[in-house]
Amino acid sequence: MTDPAGTRRQFCFVRFCAVLCIPLLLLVFPGESQAQFKAEVPQARVEYWQARLASMEAQLADKQGLSSYRLVFLGDSITDFFLMGENLWFPGVTNGRAVWDATFAGQDPALKAINLGISGDRLEHMLYRIQPKAQGGLGQLDHKGLKPDYVVILAGINNSWASETPADASIVAGVKALVASVHARQPKARIILQSLLPTQEVARTRDIVIPVNRELKAFAEQDKQKAYLTFVDLYPHFLNPEGSQNSTLFYDGLHPSEAGYRVWRDILVGAIAADRAREAMR
């Protein structure tokens, strides 16, 4: 039969020795007291798009700052990465941050913009983000202080992966729904609808991008939309002389390089200036 009191004394002695040895072990192995790798430290998983959305929502919550935005950019990673300097996934690649800061950060108040692009977003995700909160969405265009002159849309290419059939018809329908929803949320803003950019995949560009761009141009030219919608065809400006994607303006066959963002910026700024001039003459 065991002696409980003796057992407790033995346990206490062992625990005392263990505690006494800890400082000695730290002297022998000083580096063991601190984590050496991120893998050793508990951390909640936060995807890039979640962090981006949280940052965006905080920006939209700034009631005083919202009234200064004359442009709202709405889109996916191509729009999102206008705010990225050094690329997070491609070492040595620079995206559009310097171009954005030089043009849309407020130096020219008429071009000051808020960027509502999120990497990975498909058309349905953008529709959800601008859907009124009363209908289950995020209501991103419903903030009272947000009264832009223009909402700039570049969207739909992500729907060409894991696509519905036919992909081009699905994308056109989604873009039309997005335009209608933007117009309903911001009826006084003009909408700049931009074409899809060429991809390095010949088949995807031929079978999806070109047909989508053709349909969006025709849609924008209809009388019902012309009152508030302007189509800007980016596509030809991103081609080489042979008619395929100009690889110098992209870094992965899909996303623009910094040079690509400069081209986009120049076309867009010119289109907005021309649209403002036309509106002033009416």
First to last CA, the chain: 103
SS3 state of residue 89: coil
List, in order, residues 6 or more apart from 202 with CB less than 8 Å away: 244
Q: What's residue 5's pLDDT? A: 42
**pLDDT at residue number 64:** 83
Average confidence score pLDDT of the chain: 90
Confidence category of residue 23, pLDDT binned at 50, 70, 90: very low
- In angstroms, the CA 184 to CA 181 distance is 5
More reliable by pLDDT, 181 or 31: 181
Predicted confidence band at 33 (pLDDT cuts at 50, 70, 90)? low
Give the single-character DSSP code of 42.
-
Query: Cα–Cα distance between 128 and 138 in angstroms, integer?
Result: 7
Which pLDDT belongs to residue 1?
A: 42
In this prediction, residues 86-90 reach a mean pLDDT of 94
Residue 227 has pLDDT above 50, yes or no: yes
pLDDT at 35: 73
Q: Mean pLDDT check: name the lowest of 27-31, 140-144, 230-234, 264-268.
A: 27-31
Highest mean pLDDT: which range of 42-46, 62-66, 158-162: 158-162
The 10 Å Cβ neighbour count of residue 282 is 4
What's the pLDDT tens digit per position in 231-273? 999 999 999 999 999 999 999 999 999 999 999 999 999 999 9
For the chain, the C-alpha Rg in angstroms (whole number) is 27
Residue 47: what are its φ and ψ, rounded to 5°? Answer: -70, 160
String of DSSP letters for 106-146: SSSGGG-EEEEE-TT--HHHHHHHHS-GGGTS--TT--TT-
